[in-house]
Amino acid sequence: MVEKKGNVTLQAKASELEAKIETAASFISLKMKEKGIKDIPKIGIVLGSGYRNVTDEVKNSIILKFSEIPFFEKATNHDGEIHIGELEGKLVYVMRGRLHFYEGFTMEQITFPIRVMKKVGIEILFVTNAAGTIRKEFEPGNWMIINDHINFQGTNPLIGPNLPTFGERFPDMTFAYNRDLSKKLEDVLTKMALKINKGVYVAFTGPSFETPAEIKFAQIMGGDAVGMSTVPEVIVANHMKMKVVGISLLTNWGAGISKEPISDKEVNEMGVKKADEFKTILKEFVKKL
């Protein structure tokens, strides 16, 4: 009897979450219609630290703040906006900013916007982030195409009741980052004569930067870059059968590799320095879709 009550409770939680997703997605779809946007965007983009100016390239857009969308949490460390408009002749759905585990949000809250993306109609998810490089061949200022990840955040966004209308209980993560899309991204970097790095992104919780010992541990485990985001979003996107591609801007050396202390100032400065370059990367990539 206790087990039955537990199952009923889990089903109720799943139904409640699905209802919230539906409400948020309907709100966004209505705002799109009011703006005269009749098509459904298929391309979703999550802009991490340092990428905020990319939305300047999105034309005829509707802009919605997280705070005005039902059940979205207000971002504390990023802008927290959704821009839906045209980029290279294609309709895109851009999240300018994201929620982080270190801000105190739950995994459900962090990944809720990705669930809503899927409900709106997004099929391809392009995730971006700023990361510390822990591989000496990958220098700060380089780009790294993410071909896999390691989750060191101590939890998983799929823990709890499954949402069967979105995906199966035990989703495969063998190809979490779509190989065909990653090849298209690689082709863009080649065309732009940029160094091509491909590697494993390691997600820690933050907000403290990693210690030298933690960096050594990440290296031993096969990591190439470290950060504090992205992985929960990618797990949930794969659960919903979205095709994912990801890129990291390598902004600094990981702790212990350089003798200099790490600060968010250098992370932000590198983002500003590379903003125009990423605009070109994104536009060229969208052309290929």
pLDDT band at 18 (very low <50, low <70, confident <90, very high): very high
d(CA 7, CA 134): 44
Verdict on whether the full-model pTM lies above 0.85: yes
Instruction: Give pLDDT, residue 8.
Output: 65
Strands 59-65 and 81-87: antiparallel
- 240: tokens are 């919903």
d(CA 111, CA 109): 6
pLDDT at 45 over 70: yes
Q: Say whether domain 2-287 belongs to CATH 3.40.50.1580.
A: yes
Instruction: Give pLDDT, residue 6.
Output: 57
Instruction: Give pLDDT, residue 2.
Output: 42
Instruction: Give pLDDT, residue 1.
Output: 38
Q: How does pLDDT run across 109-160, given as a tens digit for each residue?
A: 999 999 999 999 999 999 999 999 999 999 999 999 999 999 999 999 999 9
In the chain, domain spans: 2-287
pLDDT band at 186 (very low <50, low <70, confident <90, very high): very high
The DSSP letter of residue 197 is E
